[in-house]
């Protein structure tokens, strides 16, 4: 059964470290498969749409993305009905068009910001089964991927934000 992992938050220096690549031969190990499941569980328990391994103190190049981010993507080389695990993801191509939108982060609790991101990105990665995939992500999915891949490189959304704000603790609906 998956377990909830503690989220690393600022001011931890761990969030600024570069993550290490995962060897393809290690992907099928029980330890890594458990890590993937725990990351997905933690992402949902903490109400996130994506999570990078450095956010749970694992300095490896692994991200997970909730299936809700995949819903409007069209054809992908993996199921859009399942949460996504990407190992060693690299952005190969960026669209020239960008968009400014709100972002938040589980590792920067209580803050939000306006971040300029590319509308489309082409990513190459390994899946949790070790398969190499290459795909183009659009809009929200592209934003989530850029945010999570930034974590693997020690970059936080506040580093890219045009504006950052603190959330009020007692917001009414």
Structure confidence by residue, pLDDT tens digits, 130-172: 999 999 999 999 999 999 999 999 999 999 999 999 987 654 4
Residue 91 has pLDDT above 80, yes or no: yes
15 exposure class (CB count in 10 Å sphere: 0-12, 13-18, 19+): buried
pLDDT tens, position by position, 15-61? 999 999 999 999 999 999 999 999 999 999 999 999 999 999 999 99
Q: Would you state the pLDDT for residue 65?
A: 98
Residue 162 included in any domain: no
DSSP 169: T
Residue 30 included in any domain: yes
CA dist 105 and 102 (Å) reads: 11
Q: 93 catalytic, yes or no?
A: no
Residue 8: pLDDT band (50, 70, 90) is: very high
Write down the pTM of the prediction. 0.95
Task: Give the domain range for residue 72.
Answer: 13-92+120-157
pLDDT tens, position by position, 92-120? 999 999 999 999 999 999 999 999 999 99
Residue 110 included in any domain: no
Of 17, 103, 148, 168, which residue is the catalytic one? 148
Domain total of the chain: 1
CB 145 within 8 A of CB 123: yes
Residue 166 included in any domain: no
């Amino acid at each position: 059964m998956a377990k909830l992992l503690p989220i690393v938050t600022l001011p931890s220096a761990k969030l600024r470290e570069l993550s290490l690549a995962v060897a393809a031969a290690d992907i099928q190990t029980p330890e890594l498969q458990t890590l993937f499941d725990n990351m997905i569980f933690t992402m949902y328990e903490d109400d996130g749409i994506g999570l990078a391994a450095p956010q749970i103190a694992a300095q490896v190049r692994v991200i997970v993305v909730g299936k809700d981010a995949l819903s409007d993507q069209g054809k992908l080389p993996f199921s859009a009905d399942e949460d996504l695990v990407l190992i060693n993801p690299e952005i190969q191509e960026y669209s020239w068009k960008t968009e400014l939108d709100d972002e938040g982060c589980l590792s920067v609790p209580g803050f939000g910001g306006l971040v300029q991101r590319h509308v489309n990105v082409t990513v190459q990665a390994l899946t949790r089964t070790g398969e190499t995939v290459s795909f183009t992500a659009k809009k929200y999915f592209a934003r989530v991927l850029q945010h999570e891949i930034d974590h693997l490189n020690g970059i936080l959304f506040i580093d890219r934000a045009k504006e950052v704000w603190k959330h009020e603790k007692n917001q009414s609906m």
